[in-house]
């Protein structure tokens, strides 16, 4: 007999929802920290954009 595991779309949906939630929280943290980073590092808008882009990837 062939042994297969049952398909659980609810688990996959839960994992995807958790991943999206973590990405949103991470981006929010970086965006909230941008003014402090700007003051502390004396960063220009271009430098702040590099910080955001580096964090996303």
Q: What is the pLDDT of residue 6?
A: 77
Q: How confident is the model at residue 3 (pLDDT cuts 50, 70, 90)?
A: low
Q: DSSP letters of 1-57?
A: ----PPP-HHHHHHHHHHHHHHHHHHHHHHHHHHHHHHHHHT--HHHHHHHHHHHH-
Query: Can you tell me the distance from the alpha carbon of 17 to that of 42, in angstroms, rounded to the nearest whole number?
Result: 37
What is the mean predicted confidence (pLDDT) over 15-34?
Answer: 95
Query: Can you tell me the distance from the alpha carbon of 18 to that of 42, in angstroms, rounded to the nearest whole number?
Result: 35
Mean pLDDT of the chain: 90
- Structure-token pair, residue 22: 């973590």
User: For the chain, which residues make up each domain, given as ranges?
Assistant: 17-56
Q: How confident is the model at residue 55 (pLDDT cuts 50, 70, 90)?
A: confident
Q: What is the pLDDT of residue 13?
A: 95
């Amino acid at each position: 007999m062939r042994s297969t595991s049952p398909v659980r779309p609810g688990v996959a949906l839960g994992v995807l929802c958790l991943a999206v939630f973590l990405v949103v929280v991470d981006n929010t943290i970086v965006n909230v920290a941008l003014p402090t980073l700007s003051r502390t590092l004396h960063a220009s808008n271009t430098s702040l954009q590099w910080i955001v882009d580096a964090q996303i990837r």
